[in-house]
Amino acid sequence: MTVFVLFGATGDLAARLVLPAFWTLANEGLLPEDWLLVGNGRGDVSHENFRAHVREVLGSPKKGWAEFAKRLRFAGGGFNSDSPGSLLDVIGEARAQIGVNSQLVHYLAIPPVAFPEITKALGVHGLAKGSRVVYEKPFGTSPESFRSLNRQVHAVLDESQVYRIDHFLGKEATQQLHAMRFANQTMAAIWSREHVESVQIDVPETLDVANRAQFYDATGAVLDMLVTHLFQVAAEVAMEPPASLGAADLQAARETVIRRFRPIDPAEAVLGQFAGYRDIKGVAPKSRTDTFVAAKLWIDSPRWRGVPFLLRTGKRLAASEQRVSLVLRTPGAPFRKLPPQANVLSFSLAGDGEVDLTLLAKKPGIADDLEPASVALPLASLPEADPIPAYSRLIHDVLIGDRALFTRPDGLSAAWKAVRPLLDTPPRTIAYEPGSWGPAKARKLAAPHRWLLGQ
């Protein structure tokens, strides 16, 4: 029995990600037998109007909609420490319907600036005890605000109740990093500096920020993507083998390696802003917000010392990809002058995920000519595969109380330390053309070779 309270229920994040994820879980039969979803917001919205809104954002589904819709409620009047609006009444009615001891799950699909007040209000109005609370990223906007928010959260909630979501950790292909590495001795043997020349974590996007310009202009690529998604994926690649895949062991392995991240040198980072960004409604006319970041990350652990992790992401770029690539070292003898970056193990994190391997092979014929040859494993093609979107996976984990794929404060604290030099003394933001691969200066970060995508 679960009452799922969605703060910011009529906002952009809820419409794009949270509500569709919940709908997927319902269709897959992965929700508790008895559940209700209570949307919360400032407006005086009726239950029926909220249901109509949800149906619209889901694309007006028919099959299964009637059963889903009857479990939707809305509590208007806002919610803060001074006034709960109608939320207490609606939750009371929901619990009376499905069970007074129903598990409360609060999902904060709201701007991060509102996290402290909503958290305080949960405590003031008696909604914190025994509940689970999901916080969207970024969890803080600076090292100082992270520490302040963490104190405020822990003043109301025990750490075991807190679920800091980073949906890249819920992606099928991100979890394949565990499976491929830890379940295959061949992969485990090459997963180190002796065999890996460099690692590229590349997340270019063709999208702009028009639908969330005000949020983005206060955040930018470094806070929205680098210190969150890209750092977490780097930790997934670089961590030492955990004792198990249980929550405590997996989180500990991830957070331990983040503490080995060397603070980023601003001289090894490039910030950019696409031309026309300042013309978007909601963006400050003289905004210096970065819409692109590329950086070189070093990890001071015995396994990875001296191996550059190249991280890149940006808006309005030439293509949309989400790719992790381990560039393998090429041997010397007996072949000479082997092409660089020809041996690559790559994981596409987009969609259902794919694993790609590129190796040099002899081209059939009398000569000893070598050519790169590639094989691909689409994860959805595995027998009886049933892939589930990342947000659906993570919300399901919250519902069952599994924190393995959620971030911990010690790891986030280390991540903020690693990015701090880039926040304190950022390099000059360079303009780039929409549809390009960002500032040309970013190419130098991959020297003496190149970015595998686009250049």
CB 31 within 8 A of CB 24: no
Residues 6+ positions from 452 with CB-CB distance below 8 Å: 200, 202, 323, 325, 327, 341, 344, 346
Instruction: List, in order of start, the domains of the chain with CATH numbers.
Output: 2-136 (3.40.50.720), 168-446 (3.30.360.10)
What values do phi and psi take at 323, rounded to 5? Answer: -135, 135
* Rounded Cα distance, 78 and 76, in Å: 6
Please name the amino acid found at residue 300.
D
**315 annotated to bind ligand:** yes
* C-alpha dist (Å) from residue 446 to 80, 138, 292: 48, 27, 16
Say which of 125, 154, 195, 229 is annotated catalytic.
229
Both tokens of residue 157? 């909630």
Q: What is the pLDDT of residue 107?
A: 96
CA separation for the pair 317, 372 (Å, rounded): 27
Q: Is 205 annotated as a binding residue?
A: yes
Residues with Cβ within 8 Å of 394's Cβ and at least 6 positions away in sequence, in order, are 21, 163, 165, 167, 169, 170, 405, 406
CB atoms within 10 A of CB 431: 12
Q: What is the DSSP letter of 64?
A: T
pLDDT of 334 reads: 66
Q: Is 178 labeled as catalytic in the residue annotation? A: no
Cβ(9)–Cβ(41) under 8 Å?
Answer: yes
Sort 383 into a burial class: Cβ within 10 Å, 0-12 / 13-18 / 19+. exposed
- Helix ranges restricted to H, 1-114: 12-13, 19-27, 47-57, 65-69, 87-98
- The verdict on whether residue 171 carries a ligand-binding annotation is yes
- ∠ CA(71), CA(74), CA(76), 5° rounding? 170
The answer to whether the beta carbons of residues 143 and 116 sit under 8 Å apart is no
pLDDT in tens, the chain (455 residues): 899 999 999 988 899 999 999 999 999 999 998 999 999 988 888 999 999 999 999 999 989 999 999 999 999 998 999 999 999 999 999 999 998 888 999 999 998 889 999 999 999 999 999 999 999 888 888 889 899 999 999 999 999 999 999 888 888 888 888 888 888 898 889 999 999 999 999 999 999 887 788 888 888 999 989 999 999 999 999 999 998 888 889 889 999 999 999 999 999 999 999 999 999 998 999 999 999 999 999 999 999 999 999 999 999 999 999 999 999 988 766 666 777 788 899 999 888 888 899 888 777 777 777 778 888 888 777 777 677 888 999 999 999 999 988 888 988 999 999 999 999 999 999 999 999 999 999 999 998 889 998 86
Query: Is 167 within any annotated ligand binding site?
Result: yes
Residue 240 DSSP symbol: P
Helix (H) or strand (E) holding 345: strand 344-348
The residue written with tokens 């911990």 in the block is: 408
pLDDT at 336: 67
pLDDT value of residue 381: 78
Residue 296 · residue 268 · CB < 8 Å: yes
pTM, full prediction: 0.89
Is 224 within any annotated ligand binding site? yes
- From residue 8, give the alpha-carbon distance in Å to each of 72, 144, 212, 214: 14, 25, 14, 16
- Report the distance separating Cα 135 and Cα 132, nearest Å: 10
